[in-house]
């Protein structure tokens, strides 16, 4: 839950605004102070969440809004409060519990990470960044996020929200590139506070600023604690002149068909016949392609007699 905000006050650009981009020291304190007052009370930010709760949240929040994640997250941690609890289950149970969060391969990857944590680290999420990165399904972003948010370490945490904040406040452009670049990583490292606790706080605060204030559309500059230093705002908010930013479509895509097929399998108590899957989508070629993709991704297991189930191994 977001803390009450003060009435918005316009922040005029100062007459003697600096001509160069703001330095890290110019950004840290105002953003961290703002975070202390306005950060949402989210379960994975509470001390009792632990490193496992942070890791689960990071898997679930990828390309998925907080409002959709919250109920699934709470059910997941109630059922599997430790990695070993999830590791005991079949992978298909993780897919079933994932519900309609989308991108269900994340559920398989989280299950795989839980198995590796149980086997390699005695059931405790490792604190070492390199060990986190070595877990299956863990990339650079997730390793940095868990090390930073769960263990208070100093790592650049570059999600879409942070990238947008840095693009606007420091680089002076409306949007970051479509894919994270080496230049963005270098900038994020250069902006990190020197001491670990402040760096971890900065990572969380800049992410929250992008999620609540410096949003992709309808940014709220009047509520931004660094509006007076923002290079993009001081430049007059020039329009994006890079490659077109295409919104993701869903209706009619293979993703929609895959979702409908998985919904049948999640709700079933046993193997499902081909005929039951055929009823979820009218176009047979696309339906077959979507089902083949689910099998290839390890989300569905074919069985003898034209039956299908969620994976057991």
Structure tokens at 281: 């989508």
Q: Could you tell me what percentage of the chain is helix, strand and coil, using 3-state DSSP and rounding each to the nearest 5?
A: 55, 5, 40
Cα separation, 106 vs 85, in Å, equals: 17
- Of the residues 37, 58, 140, 184, only one is catalytic, namely 58
Determine whether 194 is an active site residue: no
Cα separation, 266 vs 252, in Å, equals: 21
Cβ pair 223, 10 in contact under 8 A: no
Cβ pair 167, 150 in contact under 8 A: no
Cα separation, 77 vs 56, in Å, equals: 8
Q: Pick the closest to residue 298 from 313, 284, 280, 276 (CA basis).
A: 313
Cα separation, 213 vs 11, in Å, equals: 14
- Helix H segments across 39-104? 50-61, 66-79, 83-87, 91-98
Burial of 127 (C-beta count, 10 Å sphere; 0-12/13-18/19+):
middle
Please name the residue that has the structure tokens 């083949």. Answer: 292
Cβ pair 153, 200 in contact under 8 A: yes
Beta partners for residue 303, in sequence order: 307
Residues with a catalytic annotation lie at: 58
């Amino acid at each position: 839950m977001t803390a009450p905000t003060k009435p918005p006050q316009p922040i005029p650009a100062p007459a003697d605004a600096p001509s160069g981009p703001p330095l890290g020291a110019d950004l840290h304190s105002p953003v961290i102070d703002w975070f202390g007052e306005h950060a949402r009370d989210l379960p994975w930010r509470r001390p009792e969440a632990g490193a496992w709760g942070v890791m689960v949240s990071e898997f679930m929040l990828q390309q998925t809004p907080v409002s959709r994640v919250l109920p699934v997250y709470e059910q997941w941690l109630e059922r599997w409060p430790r990695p070993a609890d999830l590791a005991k289950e079949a992978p298909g149970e993780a897919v079933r519990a994932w519900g309609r969060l989308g991108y269900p391969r994340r559920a398989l990857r989280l299950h795989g990470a839980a198995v590796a944590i149980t086997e390699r680290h005695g059931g405790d999420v490792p604190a070492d960044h390199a060990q986190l990165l070595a877990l299956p399904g863990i990339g650079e972003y997730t390793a940095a996020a868990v090390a930073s948010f769960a263990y208070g370490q100093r790592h650049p945490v570059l999600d879409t929200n942070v990238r947008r904040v840095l693009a606007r406040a420091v680089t002076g452009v409306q949007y970051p590139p479509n894919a994270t670049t080496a230049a963005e990583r270098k900038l994020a490292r250069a902006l990190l506070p020197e001491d670990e606790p402040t760096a971890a706080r900065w990572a969380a605060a800049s992410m929250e600023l992008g999620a609540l204030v410096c949003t992709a559309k309808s940014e709220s500059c009047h509520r931004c604690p660094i509006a007076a230093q923002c290079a993009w705002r001081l430049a007059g908010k020039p329009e994006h002149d890079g490659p077109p930013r295409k919104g993701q479509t869903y209706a009619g895509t293979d993703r929609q068909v895959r979702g409908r097929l998985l919904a049948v399998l999640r709700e079933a108590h046993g193997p499902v016949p081909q005929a039951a899957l055929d009823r979820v989508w009218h176009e047979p070629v696309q339906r077959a392609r979507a089902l083949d993709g689910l099998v290839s991704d390890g989300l569905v297991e074919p069985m003898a007699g034209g039956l299908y189930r969620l994976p057991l191994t």
